[in-house]
Amino acid sequence: MSEAYRQAYEDSTQDPQGFWSRAAELVDWSTPPGAAHDEARGWFPGGQLNTCHNALDRHVAAGRGDALALIHESPVTGATRTWAYAELLDEVGRVAAMLARLGVGKGDRVVIYMPMIPEAAFAMLACARLGAIHSVVFGGFAAHELAKRIDDATPKVLLTASCGIEGTRTIAYKPMVDEARALAAHRLDSVVLLQRDRLRAEMTPAIDRDWMELRAQCAADPVPAPVPLASDDPLYILYTSGTTGVPKGVVRENGGHAVALAWSMANIYGIGAGDVFFAASDIGWVVGHSYIVYGPLLVGATTVLFEGKPVGTPDAGTFWRVVTRHKVTAMFTAPTAIRAIRKDDPEAAFLHEIGTGPLRAVFLAGERADPETIAWLERHSGLPVVDNWWQTELGWPAITTCLPLGDRRRKPGSAGFPVPGYHFAILDEDGHPVPDGQSGAVTIRAPLPPGAFRSLWNNPAAFAKNFATFPGWYETGDAGYRDAEGFLHIMGRTDDIINVAGHRLSTGQMEQIVAAADGVAECAVIGADDPLKGQVPVAFVVARAGHADAAAMAARVIAAVRVDIGAVASLKAAHVVAQLPKTRSGKILRNVLRKLAAGEAVAIPPTIEDPAVIPAIQAVLAADRAAASG
Ligand code: COA
Ligand code: AMP
């Protein structure tokens, strides 16, 4: 353990007030906070600041207006565009003026349903400038999910684009927005739509505004000044899968978020002014919020907004081209992306040909980083590949190896050590710490550090539930253990959430949709292991009498989930079986289904009601596999 890491960790746990007061100096406050923390008001009570000012204005004021702030690298359109800090401030100011013209002000919500284009980042920062609360909805979610978020966040305005470009396909966004508007009870004042050349959308009179026309109309409007906000005023709401069909609106507060991200850029990623950071995620996820938009800009670095996939746009060399072309010093992606690259380019020929330029490390998060993937990338790149464990709720990494603090300890299969600010315990069902090496519930001591959630939008009961099982401790929903050397290992979820290609989805929600499909008597949805995506959702369905066509039933169920949640939640398969494996008390044996789906041998559990169910399901799986490959 390095001395710097040991000291930082000790300071953060033994003197959190002092530790975070010093960290608070990394950002500009219009009114400095009176203390680091109080129970009622959270982090930096009494402090006032503006996140957009901290991300843009202050760097320009410090004479860095010409420094590069944003690079939009879009292999799907062939475009590369860049903005210096002064230019980005100008663009954000324009969008802030547009929103102000539409009546958006402090505390109003704005939903952003946009692909990976620079206007999406301008919009987020413009909301931050006005004190409006943005809620970005991932483009892979369809109309129903968008409608749920519109009803929960009750935005004045929705910002969108005519289309997204997914690999070689063009995805029309406007029909989803129209359908979501029809489904939602809440009425939007306006929809502002950016027309893209690839596919232009039909505008709906009275509600739709053309982005560029509105921009031109507001050209002479004064640029709104950054609104001073209380530290605990919300910056954004980001919805994530809970264990029911109702999405959880994680609320991020301005003060704690700015301080935590600025601290993390320096102490986890080693990034500051002059560095280029490339987070290959999507602004619809927390990684995109923290490390495409806010984190790099808060510290005056350059950020890369990448509109493409790790493979196929045009090939498995695309990441390495971005890295070398823009002199990226640290990059961030999901293990799935590296697995996809490895699948297409097993010998890393692209990486060897293109190189990694000044890249110092690769950070992985979003799902378990399997040792083989880490080893492959380290072998071919010669760089440290560092796992990060965190969640939407936390907003920034909680377990990793802090390279900038001199720590070098890494162990494949472990996410690393607690980040300063996070105090972990691994607890058994009764809330007692388990011995090292033994698995239990991964919990974090309350209060959580700055940046982590302190509420869920409109849902205090669901928020309180996170702290109810183990009073004084936040239940992360993950299971894991600490080994004898102190490494933390995350083993998976304790609830029904699964991770598909780094995307967090709820099998419980999918089950509700499948159960409601025509002809379904009973069902179970599980996360089956997948060599590329980590996990994929698979349904087991029992049909009602009179619904004998298994292929039609499977197609119906798959389509229902895709329509209700979106393309990102596609079921890999739906198997129509005569019965589900259950205990005598009627509980579905999901672990058995998981093993069956993986083609593993299954020991007959002693609690099973009818052991004959297992060979019957194995026969269905074999027949379905044969049909799929034939
Ligand atoms: N807008 C619209 N549709 C989207 C979308 C978006 N932003 N993102 C994904 N989708 C669609 C995809 O087009 C695909 O649709 P299809 O079933 O019609 O083909 C579906 O959702 C599933 O997408 P995905 O899981 O991304 O699979 P894929 O086969 O398109 O790509 C990978 C596979 C591995 C290349 C891709 O999953 C990937 O890049 N993963 C890394 C994920 C990541 O960075 N996650 C962020 C967490 S840090
Ligand atoms: P999200 O909120 O979408 O970031 O998903 C958070 C969940 O993803 C966590 O609770 C974990 O289950 C999983 N996860 C994220 N990062 C890792 C990691 N590095 N290792 C293992 N699981 C991870």
Q: Is 548 helix (H, G, I), strand (E, B) or coil?
A: coil
Ligand 1 mean position, distance from CA 562 (Å): 13
The predicted-structure confidence for 220-268, as pLDDT tens digits, reads as follows 999 999 999 999 999 999 999 876 677 899 999 999 999 999 999 999 9
Domain 501-629: which CATH number of 3.40.50.720, 3.40.390.10, 3.30.300.30, 3.10.20.30: 3.30.300.30
Buried b (16+ CB within 10 A) or exposed e, 116-127: bbbbbbbbbbbb
Instruction: Decide whether any atom of ligand 1 lies within 6 Å of the 54 Cβ.
Output: no
Mean pLDDT of 569-585: 94
Ligand 2 mean position, distance from CA 492 (Å): 8
At residue 288, the pLDDT reads 97
Instruction: Decide whether any atom of ligand 1 lies within 6 Å of the 330 Cβ.
Output: no
Q: Whose structure tokens read 């799902």? A: 367
pLDDT at 554 over 90: yes
Tell me the C-alpha distance between 540 and 530, whole Å.
Answer: 17
Which residues are CB-neighbours of 605 under 8 A, at least 6 positions away? 583, 589, 592
Tell me the C-alpha distance between 203 and 208, whole Å.
Answer: 6
Strands (E), 503-567: 503-506, 520-530, 534-543
Tell me the C-alpha distance between 369 and 401, whole Å.
Answer: 14
The predicted-structure confidence for 594-630, as pLDDT tens digits, reads as follows 999 998 888 888 899 999 999 999 999 999 999 988 7
Tell me the C-alpha distance between 540 and 522, whole Å.
Answer: 8
How far is CA 108 from each of CA 133, 197, 224, 513, rounded to the nearest angstrom? 6, 31, 15, 32
Residue 430 CB burial class (10 angstroms; 0-12, 13-18, ≥19): exposed
Mean pLDDT of 265-283: 97
Buried b (16+ CB within 10 A) or exposed e, 293-311: bbbbbbbbbbbbbbbbbbb
Identify the H or E element spanning 158: strand 157-161
Instruction: Decide whether any atom of ligand 1 lies within 6 Å of the 418 Cβ.
Output: no
Residue in 57, 181, 171, 69 with CA at minimum distance from that of residue 116: 171
The residue whose CA is least distant from atom 45 of ligand 1 is 502
CB 197 within 8 A of CB 162: no
The predicted-structure confidence for 488-541, as pLDDT tens digits, reads as follows 999 999 988 999 998 999 999 999 999 999 999 999 999 999 999 999 999 999
Q: Any idea what DSSP says for residue 605?
A: P
Mean pLDDT of 548-555: 94
Tell me the C-alpha distance between 450 and 258, whole Å.
Answer: 9
Domain 3-308+388-480: which CATH number of 3.40.50.12780, 3.30.230.70, 3.40.50.300, 3.40.50.10860: 3.40.50.12780
566: left (phi over 0), alpha (psi -120 to 50) or beta: left
Strand partners, 158: 111, 191
Neighbours of 519 (CB within 10 A): 18
Tell me the C-alpha distance between 328 and 341, whole Å.
Answer: 18
pLDDT at 50 over 80: yes
Tell me the C-alpha distance between 605 and 515, whole Å.
Answer: 26
Strand partners, 257: none
Ligand 1 mean position, distance from CA 373 (Å): 19
Tell me the C-alpha distance between 5 and 401, whole Å.
Answer: 9
Ligand 1 mean position, distance from CA 370 (Å): 20
Pocket of ligand 2 (CB under 6 A): 240, 286, 365-369, 387-392, 415, 476-478, 490, 493, 499, 504
Q: Which ligand is nearest to the CA of 335?
A: 1
Mean pLDDT of 554-561: 96
Instruction: Return the percentage of the chain with pLDDT > 90, whole number.
Output: 94
Mean pLDDT of 44-50: 98
Q: Any idea what DSSP says for residue 572?
A: S
The predicted-structure confidence for 370-421, as pLDDT tens digits, reads as follows 999 999 999 999 999 999 999 999 999 999 999 999 999 999 999 999 999 9
Instruction: Decide whether any atom of ligand 1 lies within 6 Å of the 502 Cβ.
Output: yes
Residue 121 pLDDT level (bands cut at 50, 70, 90): very high
At residue 548, the pLDDT reads 85
Q: First and final CA of the chain: distance in angstroms?
A: 55
Helix axes 335-344, 371-381, angle to 10 degrees: 60
Task: Using alpha carbons only, give the angle 527, 528, 530 rounded to the nearest 5 degrees.
Answer: 120
At residue 629, the pLDDT reads 84
Domains of the chain, residue spans:
3-308+388-480, 501-629
Probe target for ligand 2 pocket from 504, 506, 507, 535, with the most ligand atoms within 8 Å of CB: 504
The CB-side HSE value for 356 (13 A sphere, CA atoms) comes to 21
Instruction: Decide whether any atom of ligand 1 lies within 6 Å of the 287 Cβ.
Output: yes
The predicted-structure confidence for 141-199, as pLDDT tens digits, reads as follows 999 999 999 999 999 999 999 999 998 899 999 999 999 999 999 999 999 999 999 99
Q: Both tokens of residue 472?
A: 């004084």
Averaged confidence pLDDT in the chain: 96
The residue whose CA is least distant from atom 32 of ligand 1 is 337
